[in-house]
């Protein structure tokens, strides 16, 4: 068994779509980044890559490479899923938390779980997504950005 931990943060800005866990969420701001800036999916990928000791998403999908400009993070997660299988592992479970003062994320969490689990070809019951507001504190609490953390358990298939 292997465990991994991932963390990501992105600034909120006008003129961008807000995408979390592959779900486009209606909001006046979106997350700034080279790809679609899906902070949740990025944290999940970093947790999975970390569990395999394969580095981080910056090494696999560098923001200096034009082919990742505006990239769909769920597609990138599918690629990470192929790496997990190639290394002889399967996902046991993933647990995530998104920190955002607004918008309220509860209506979108089931779809986020479905998107993440489908990309990894695992059961939705293996993916947990939670949300918190951080009570008005820090960059997430004051509405400047969003963060996400993720932990995962990988199980050897051998």
**In whole angstroms, what is the distance from residue 12 CA to residue 33 CA?**
10
Could you tell me the strand order of the sheet in which 89-99 lies? 30-31, 2-13, 145-156, 89-99, 127-132
Two structure tokens written together for 134: 């951080």
Residue 10 assigned to a binding site = yes
**79 labeled binding residue:** no
CA distance 100 to 40: 11
**What pLDDT is recorded for position 82?**
98
Q: Rounded distance, CA 112 to CA 155, Å?
A: 23
134 is in an annotated binding site: yes
Q: Is 72 annotated as a binding residue?
A: no
The pLDDT value recorded for residue 158 is 80
> 61 among the known binding-site residues?
yes
- In the numeric block, the tokens 């997504």 are attached to 129
Q: Does the annotation flag 42 for ligand binding?
A: yes
Q: Residue 144's closest CA among 109, 96, 97, 99? A: 99
Q: Is 34 annotated as a binding residue?
A: yes
| 133 labelled ligand-binding | yes
Tokens of 93: 């479970």
Chunked mean pLDDT (size 10), the chain, 158 residues: 97 97 97 96 98 96 90 97 98 98 96 98 98 92 96 95
Residue 56 counted as an annotated binding residue: yes
- Other beta carbons within 10 angstroms of residue 122's beta carbon come to 18
Rounded to two decimals, the pTM is: 0.96
């Amino acid at each position: 068994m292997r465990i991994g931990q991932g963390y990501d943060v992105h600034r909120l800005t006008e003129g961008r779509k807000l995408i979390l866990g592959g779900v486009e969420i209606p909001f006046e701001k979106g997350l700034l980044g080279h790809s679609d800036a899906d902070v949740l999916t990025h944290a999940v990928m970093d947790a999975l890559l970390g569990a395999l000791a394969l580095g981080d998403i910056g090494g696999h999908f560098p923001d200096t490479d034009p082919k990742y400009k505006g990239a769909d993070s769920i597609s990138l997660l599918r690629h990470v899923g192929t790496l997990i299988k190639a290394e002889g592992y399967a996902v046991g479970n993933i647990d995530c938390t998104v920190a955002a003062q607004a918008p309220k994320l509860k209506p979108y969490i089931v779809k986020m779980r479905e998107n993440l689990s489908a990309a990894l070809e695992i059961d939705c019951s293996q993916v947990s997504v939670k949300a918190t507001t951080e009570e008005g504190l820090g960059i997430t609490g004051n509405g400047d950005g969003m963060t996400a953390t993720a932990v995962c358990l990988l199980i050897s298939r051998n």
